[in-house]
Amino acid sequence: MVFDFLRRKKPFSGSENRFFDLLSRQSAKSIEGLEALANYAENGTKENANLVRNIEREADELRRILIQELDQTFITPIDREDIYQLSRAIDDVVDYANTTVDEMEIYEVKGDSHIKEMVNILRKAARELNDAVKILKDYPKIASEHAVKAKSYENQMEKAYHVALAELFKGTDTVYMLKMREIYRHLSNAADRGDEAANIISSIVMKHT
């Protein structure tokens, strides 16, 4: 019929919109954290370092609220485990941004071209994940497309990580090499968690559409 599109099936049942809202706020916070990390990599001031830490604390608070909501809600719009795992993966990205700053301060190293490139890759992936989470409830198929794009940045990170290591190991300062390898690894791990978040989003879409 002409008006069938008006009665199109909604993919997610229930009225628990707060879970989608909290996940969206978490993913937006991850963008903030990575933008702050990019500023720190460019200009390693104490102010920029503290901004990353403050954002990480705010992100942790959002996750605590989401977990409490899960504990208090009998019926959720999507699988409880999927909500929990997606929230954790998104939060892990911000955690890695924070630990990257911690290690750069402890090791007293500055952001080199490789760190800046890797952080930029993370920023792009985080934007795609945020786009996916924001429309997951109403436009899951498009959300899945954003998740696929987010996954492509994990591949870029893998290449950037290996290029960074290859160049690093051409040097002669062993202590410096060990320090930078650890920081590169943190950024690579952040990309892995972003990839996991994208996988969870794709799985949610497959289950509910």
Domain boundaries, the chain: 16-208
Please tell me the predicted confidence (pLDDT) of residue 50.
Answer: 96
Please tell me the predicted confidence (pLDDT) of residue 196.
Answer: 97
The CATH code belonging to domain 16-208 is: 1.20.58.220
Please tell me the predicted confidence (pLDDT) of residue 17.
Answer: 82
Please tell me the predicted confidence (pLDDT) of residue 6.
Answer: 37
Q: What Cα–Cα distance (Å) separates residue 51 from each residue in 32, 54, 171?
A: 9, 5, 32
Block means of pLDDT (10 residues each) for the chain, length 209 residues? Answer: 43 68 96 96 93 96 94 88 96 96 94 96 97 94 96 95 96 94 95 96 90
Please tell me the predicted confidence (pLDDT) of residue 74.
Answer: 84
Where are the alpha helices (H) located in the chain, listed in sequence order? 17-42, 46-72, 80-107, 113-135, 140-168, 174-208
